[in-house]
Structure 1
Amino acid sequence: MKESSTSQRLLSLDTLRGFDMFWISGGEEIFAALAKVTGWSWAIFMAHQFTHPDWNGFRAYDLIFPTFLFMAGVSVPFSLGSRLEKGVPPSELIKKVIQRGLILVFLGIIYNNGLFHTEWAKMRYPSVLARIGLAGMFAQIIYLYTNKRARWIWFASLLIGYYAFMMWFPVPGCGAGILTMECNPASYIDRMIIPGRLHLTIHDPEGLVSTIPAIATGLMGIFAGELLRTNDEIIPRNNKVVYLMAAGVISLLLCLVWDFFFPINKNLWTSSFVLCAGGFSTLLLGLFYWVIDVLNYRKWTFFFVVIGMNSIVIYMVGRYIDFFYTAEALFGGILSYFPHSVAVVGEVIAYIMVQWAFMYLLYRNRLFLKV
């Protein structure tokens, strides 16, 4: 299928990336604050949605991480695809792909442990950034060295192979087909091969084994990116929206069926979870693409674009800069004159806006962390 030769940025993708990161940079706290001070049923429901299930299940908060990985995949046909079309060999591009993946692993280690701050035996090596780096890296390698049909075979093989491994591998002392935190094969192997400590002692939600099916999440993004990059004369934009929406619904239906045999579980990144999170991510991308790039409603996007253009910075910076202190220093005095309920919500909004102002300074001065 012929593709467009341009590699222009999709405003909808930058906006969705910023929208996604907004919720882990303080956005979710708005609902928690409203639920606390008002007791409104809808606020309590939304606050609950921005928590993780103890084990099996799916809530809105579980979508943030895989959507970011999915979007990393969407950008691949635009970044790597354009260079392949110009005749750059995969052997030249793979160096940058591997470098990017390893840098994200390194940044994840710093995020978890600081620099020379944690004893080697107590360091946590798995991380959100490491999963994005490794899963994204392998998804890009598959993209570089395979055709479209082979990529779909890889996608299906990853999901089915992970399912077979998790259900049939016998964990010593537990047996096969048991997916509790103590007995599942992924956690068992992680305990044997990962140095340092695991996040939950016996299990790490960003463990090495469960990174394998996350490659399929990146591939889902690549499939969507290939569709969006296809020349508009071949597939009109409205049709692209329809295809994205249809793909999202089909993915969700498949995940619901698979859930009966292989529960939706973010901690294990089960195959059903891949389809569930990927389905919602595809629907969100279709919605943002339709509103922004098809209907051309763009004025509202700036707030999220400022965040999305420096997504790794907004993720990491909260670990090292106390924005709560700054927000309190700037707005705490004013908020003290308001009723307690207003002040509680106002504190969260002030925190978000201080973070956004910092991101805007970076954006205005074109300071972007590119990995």
Structure 2
Amino acid sequence: MDDLLNKNHESQRLISLDALRGFDMFWIIGGEHIIHALAELTGWPVFNWISAQMHHTIWNGCTFYDMIFPLFLFISGVSMPFSFGKKVMTANVKNTFELPSEVKRKVYMDMLRRTAILIFLGLVVNGLFKFNGYENTRFASVLGRIGIAWFFAGLIYLNCNLKKQVIWFCFILIGYWLAMTLIPVPGFGAGNLTMEGSLESYIDRLLLPGRLHSKVHDPEGILSTIPAVATGLLGIFTGTFVKEKRYDPLKSVYFLLLAAALLILLGLAWDSVFPINKRLWTSSFVLFVGGYSIAFFALFYLIIDVLGWKKWTFPFLLIGMNSIVIYMAVEGVVNFGYTADFIFGGLINRTAEPIHLLLKSISVIVVELVFLYFLYRNKLFLKV
């Protein structure tokens, strides 16, 4: 464990960032099932409430589960100022937009490679190798959106100073809002924000090849990927603020929490005219979830990097440092449930039903962590 913490320290990565990524992914790889089982077992109001938060909102509104995807994209943005920092130091410049053109070209190629790999891996998760035919293949994906949004956020970061980055951020959110509310959709008119009648859904039906996730709409569609770039930019702003160290760490946390509260309030205010909606990735959703993302990061940064309470993070670090691998595995590449049942099923099946469900959920997490620990001990990390 100490080796893992030291590795993060030596590479100047924020331990809190990897831990937060692992915390974020924990709920996707099985943490949600533990909460559902606890709610059924105890009937306690707090577990019932948390269990209700472990489901996606049908349309308008937002739950904790709706925040998992944008939080991951936000984290990718936070890491960008740190990952590009070495190139800035090597080139002896102060900012990324001052990098020589030949250095930028190499960075662009690396970014394109990463984006292409994520798009491909997203297609694999969607069942590319089932060979069900072009018309039955879903081309939009979570990993694809992460790659594309990260790429364009990175282009803005590499070529613009902070003031211009903020202008881009505002332009994207306001432009998306105006487009969604003012451009008419054939048969529905302008400002229709339903699943079938929205401009985003219409463009998906018109331009997105293959199969859509919801027949008339895709939550990772073309137009709604544009505001996702703003989610990545929020992460870049946060990472830049922390990396520059203009204030002492504790004061930085205060400022981060203040910014988080402001964004949440702005998102709620915008919700009255442009509803918070994950499937449409509305501008109000970007601000609302962006505020919570900054708050989560600030708390992890305070506890882990400022106060130094690090040892408890080990399971989350295992997940966070191989997040793409475990995501693809649980999305269908590996059946951890079968393995857990093979190892622990004999003991678990002897317990009563409510406890049985809880132990089964925990056993899956245990198997996944053992798998990730094996990768870590053998220094096997998917570098994308």
The alignment's TM-score, normalised by the length of structure 1, stands at 0.96
Identity of aligned residues (%): 50
Which residue, 236, 257, 262 being the options, matches 1:250? 262
Contact conserved, 1:7 with 1:79, CA < 8 A, in 2? no
Distance in structure 1 (CA, Å) of the matches to 2:326 and 2:256: 28
Q: CA deviation at 1:33?
A: 1.6
Q: Aligned runs of 1:185-224 on 2, under 5 Å?
A: 185-224=199-238
SS at match of 1:180: coil
Question: What RMSD in Å do the two structures reach over aligned CA positions?
Answer: 1.2
Partner of 2:85: 81
Partner of 2:295: 283
Residue type of the alignment partner of 1:326: T
List per-residue Cα deviations over 1:52-97 (Å, max 9, x = no partner): 1110000000110000000000000001133123215322211111
Q: Aligned runs of 1:126-275 on 2, under 5 Å?
A: 126-231=140-245, 234-275=246-287
Residue type of the alignment partner of 2:55: T
Q: CA deviation at 1:44?
A: 1.9
Partner of 1:3: none
Q: Aligned runs of 1:1-371 on 2, under 5 Å?
A: 8-87=12-91, 89-115=103-129, 117-231=131-245, 234-318=246-330, 319-371=332-384
Distance in structure 1 (CA, Å) of the matches to 2:46 and 2:307: 30
Partner of 2:95: none
Q: CA deviation at 1:13?
A: 0.3
Partner of 2:94: none
The alignment's TM-score, normalised by the length of structure 2, stands at 0.93
Contact conserved, 1:84 with 1:90, CA < 8 A, in 2? no
Of stretches 162-171 and 105-114 in structure 1, the one that deviates more from structure 2 is 105-114
SS at match of 1:115: helix
Residue type of the alignment partner of 2:319: I
Residue type of the alignment partner of 1:99: R
Distance in structure 1 (CA, Å) of the matches to 2:237 and 2:90: 21
Q: CA deviation at 1:25?
A: 0.3
Paired residues, what number? 364
Contact conserved, 1:18 with 1:309, CA < 8 A, in 2? yes
Partner of 2:7: none
Q: CA deviation at 1:266?
A: 0.0
Distance in structure 1 (CA, Å) of the matches to 2:312 and 2:345: 28
Contact conserved, 1:56 with 1:265, CA < 8 A, in 2? yes
SS at match of 2:351: coil
Q: CA deviation at 1:208?
A: 1.0
Residue type of the alignment partner of 1:205: P
Structure 2: runs of 5 or more not aligned = 1-9, 92-98
Q: CA deviation at 1:108?
A: 0.3
